[in-house]
């Protein structure tokens, strides 16, 4: 799904104009991005939560040469799906199977 798909879904479901739908989608994504960049968690009920985690520096290995290299510390985005979303994915998947 792309931003354009989200915009189109808002357009059809909410009834805003296409430009208003695009502004709404951009505004929501901007708020989520800004909150995460500040290191705060974002929780969306019945969907999941996004958080930023600090990863410590570590020693890695160049697979081609075998040389050890230091991988610097960094922040990574983590998503944890809610049980509601997990159940929906598994229920939808089970419906499509022919066991």
Query: How does the average pLDDT of the chain come out, rounded?
Result: 92
Strand 48-55 to 68-71 pairing: unpaired
95 pLDDT band, cuts 50/70/90, is low
**Residue-range domain boundaries for the chain:** 1-38, 49-99
Tell me the CATH number for domain 49-99: 4.10.520.10
79 pLDDT band, cuts 50/70/90, is very high
Mean pLDDT of 65-85: 95
Q: What is the pTM of this model?
A: 0.75
Given a cut of 60, whether residue 40 has pLDDT beyond it is: yes
The pLDDT tens digits of the residues spanning 21-33 come to: 999 999 999 999 9
Give pLDDT, residue 38.
95
């Amino acid at each position: 799904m792309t931003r354009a798909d989200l915009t189109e879904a808002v357009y059809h479901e909410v009834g805003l104009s296409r430009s208003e739908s695009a502004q709404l989608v951009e505004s929501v994504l901007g708020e989520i991005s800004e909150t995460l960049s500040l290191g705060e968690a974002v929780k969306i009920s019945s969907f999941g939560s996004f958080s930023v985690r600090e990863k410590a520096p570590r020693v890695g290995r160049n697979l081609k040469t075998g040389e050890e290299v230091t991988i610097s510390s960094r922040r990574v985005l983590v998503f944890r799906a809610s049980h509601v979303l997990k159940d929906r994915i598994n229920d939808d998947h089970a419906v499509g199977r022919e066991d």
